[in-house]
Protein backbone atom coordinates (compact mmCIF):
# COMPACT_ATOMS: atom_id res chain seq x y z
CA UNK A 1 0.00 0.00 0.00
CA UNK A 2 2.46 2.65 -1.12
CA UNK A 3 1.49 6.29 -1.26
CA UNK A 4 1.63 6.10 -5.05
CA UNK A 5 -0.86 3.21 -5.05
CA UNK A 6 -4.33 3.81 -6.35
CA UNK A 7 -6.67 4.48 -3.44
CA UNK A 8 -9.89 3.11 -4.90
CA UNK A 9 -12.71 0.97 -3.55
CA UNK A 10 -10.59 -2.19 -3.83
CA UNK A 11 -7.92 -0.48 -1.70
CA UNK A 12 -10.56 0.46 0.89
CA UNK A 13 -12.03 -3.05 0.92
CA UNK A 14 -8.55 -4.49 1.50
CA UNK A 15 -7.88 -1.96 4.27
CA UNK A 16 -11.18 -2.89 5.91
CA UNK A 17 -10.50 -6.65 5.73
CA UNK A 18 -6.97 -6.28 7.09
CA UNK A 19 -7.65 -3.88 9.97
CA UNK A 20 -11.32 -4.22 10.98
CA UNK A 21 -10.68 -6.58 13.89
CA UNK A 22 -7.84 -4.45 15.26
CA UNK A 23 -9.89 -1.25 15.01
CA UNK A 24 -12.84 -2.98 16.73
CA UNK A 25 -10.55 -4.27 19.49
CA UNK A 26 -9.15 -0.79 20.15
CA UNK A 27 -12.63 0.77 20.20
CA UNK A 28 -13.98 -1.96 22.49
CA UNK A 29 -11.06 -1.65 24.89
CA UNK A 30 -11.48 2.13 25.12
CA UNK A 31 -15.27 2.03 25.42
CA UNK A 32 -15.54 -1.10 27.54
CA UNK A 33 -16.23 -4.50 26.08
CA UNK A 34 -19.91 -4.36 27.04
CA UNK A 35 -20.38 -1.64 24.38
CA UNK A 36 -19.80 -3.85 21.35
CA UNK A 37 -22.42 -2.08 19.23
CA UNK A 38 -20.77 1.26 19.89
CA UNK A 39 -17.39 -0.25 19.00
CA UNK A 40 -18.83 -1.41 15.67
CA UNK A 41 -20.16 2.09 14.98
CA UNK A 42 -16.78 3.60 15.86
CA UNK A 43 -15.09 1.16 13.45
CA UNK A 44 -17.48 2.20 10.68
CA UNK A 45 -16.79 5.88 11.40
CA UNK A 46 -13.05 5.19 11.35
CA UNK A 47 -13.16 3.48 7.96
CA UNK A 48 -15.44 6.19 6.57
CA UNK A 49 -12.89 8.77 7.67
CA UNK A 50 -10.13 6.62 6.14
CA UNK A 51 -11.95 6.73 2.81
CA UNK A 52 -12.42 10.49 3.02
CA UNK A 53 -8.74 11.03 3.96
CA UNK A 54 -7.31 8.18 1.88
CA UNK A 55 -4.74 10.35 0.11
CA UNK A 56 -3.15 11.37 3.43
CA UNK A 57 -2.62 7.82 4.73
CA UNK A 58 0.99 6.68 4.62
CA UNK A 59 2.48 3.32 3.70
CA UNK A 60 1.56 1.87 7.10
CA UNK A 61 -2.06 2.86 7.81
CA UNK A 62 -2.24 1.28 11.29
CA UNK A 63 -0.92 4.27 13.32
CA UNK A 64 -3.37 6.55 11.53
CA UNK A 65 -6.26 4.10 12.05
CA UNK A 66 -5.39 3.74 15.74
CA UNK A 67 -5.33 7.50 16.37
CA UNK A 68 -8.50 8.05 14.34
CA UNK A 69 -10.29 5.29 16.26
CA UNK A 70 -9.19 6.81 19.57
CA UNK A 71 -10.37 10.26 18.42
CA UNK A 72 -13.80 8.91 17.43
CA UNK A 73 -14.12 7.22 20.84
CA UNK A 74 -13.12 10.42 22.64
CA UNK A 75 -15.61 12.46 20.60
CA UNK A 76 -18.41 10.01 21.41
CA UNK A 77 -17.56 10.07 25.13
CA UNK A 78 -17.53 13.89 25.17
CA UNK A 79 -20.92 13.96 23.44
CA UNK A 80 -22.28 11.46 25.97
CA UNK A 81 -21.05 13.62 28.88
CA UNK A 82 -22.63 16.73 27.34
CA UNK A 83 -25.95 14.92 27.02
CA UNK A 84 -25.76 13.74 30.64
CA UNK A 85 -25.11 17.32 31.80
CA UNK A 86 -28.11 18.60 29.84
CA UNK A 87 -30.33 15.87 31.27
CA UNK A 88 -29.10 16.66 34.79
CA UNK A 89 -29.96 20.33 34.30
CA UNK A 90 -33.45 19.46 33.08
CA UNK A 91 -34.17 17.31 36.12
CA UNK A 92 -36.19 14.16 36.33
CA UNK A 93 -39.55 13.92 34.51
CA UNK A 94 -41.40 13.42 37.82
CA UNK A 95 -40.43 16.90 39.00
CA UNK A 96 -42.59 18.67 36.41
CA UNK A 97 -46.18 19.64 36.91
CA UNK A 98 -48.17 20.59 33.88
CA UNK A 99 -51.74 21.74 33.87
CA UNK A 100 -53.56 20.87 30.69
CA UNK A 101 -57.21 21.05 29.83
CA UNK A 102 -57.99 17.92 27.82
CA UNK A 103 -60.87 19.55 25.97
CA UNK A 104 -59.17 22.90 25.45
CA UNK A 105 -62.30 24.67 26.68
CA UNK A 106 -60.58 26.42 29.55
CA UNK A 107 -57.47 27.31 27.51
CA UNK A 108 -55.04 26.40 30.26
CA UNK A 109 -51.73 24.84 29.32
CA UNK A 110 -49.10 25.87 31.82
CA UNK A 111 -46.20 24.20 33.50
CA UNK A 112 -42.73 24.93 34.79
CA UNK A 113 -39.73 22.63 34.59
CA UNK A 114 -37.15 22.30 37.32
CA UNK A 115 -39.25 21.09 40.22
CA UNK A 116 -41.50 24.13 40.66
CA UNK A 117 -45.21 23.58 40.58
CA UNK A 118 -47.33 25.14 37.91
CA UNK A 119 -48.89 28.36 39.13
CA UNK A 120 -52.08 28.03 37.10
CA UNK A 121 -54.81 25.46 37.42
CA UNK A 122 -57.51 24.75 34.94
CA UNK A 123 -60.40 27.13 35.48
CA UNK A 124 -62.89 24.38 34.74
CA UNK A 125 -61.68 22.03 37.48
CA UNK A 126 -59.36 21.84 40.46
CA UNK A 127 -57.25 18.85 39.42
CA UNK A 128 -53.85 19.07 37.78
CA UNK A 129 -55.21 17.42 34.63
CA UNK A 130 -58.53 18.63 33.40
CA UNK A 131 -60.74 15.83 32.07
CA UNK A 132 -63.82 17.88 31.48
pLDDT tens per residue, range 7-57: 889 999 999 999 999 999 999 999 988 889 999 999 999 999 999 999 989
- pLDDT tens, residue by residue, 84-131: 999 988 886 665 555 555 555 555 544 444 444 444 444 454 444 444
Residues 6 or more apart in contact with residue 27 via CB below 8 angstroms: 38, 39, 40, 42, 43, 46, 69, 72, 73
Output the pLDDT for position 91: 80
Q: pTM (2 decimals)?
A: 0.62
The correct CATH number of 9-90 out of 1.20.1600.10, 3.40.50.1360, 1.10.1740.10, 3.40.47.10 is 1.10.1740.10
Please spell the DSSP secondary structure of 28-95, one letter per residue.
HHHH-TT-HHHHHHHHHHHHHHHHHTGGG--S--HHHHHHHHHHHHHHHHHHHHHHHHHHHHH--GGG
Q: Where are the domains of the chain?
A: 9-90, 93-130
Residues in the chain: 132
- pLDDT tens, residue by residue, 61-88: 999 999 999 999 999 999 999 999 999 8
Amino acid sequence: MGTEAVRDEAWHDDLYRRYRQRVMAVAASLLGYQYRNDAEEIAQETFTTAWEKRQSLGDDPWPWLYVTTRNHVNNRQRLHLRLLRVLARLGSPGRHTTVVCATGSCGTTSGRPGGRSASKTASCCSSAICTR
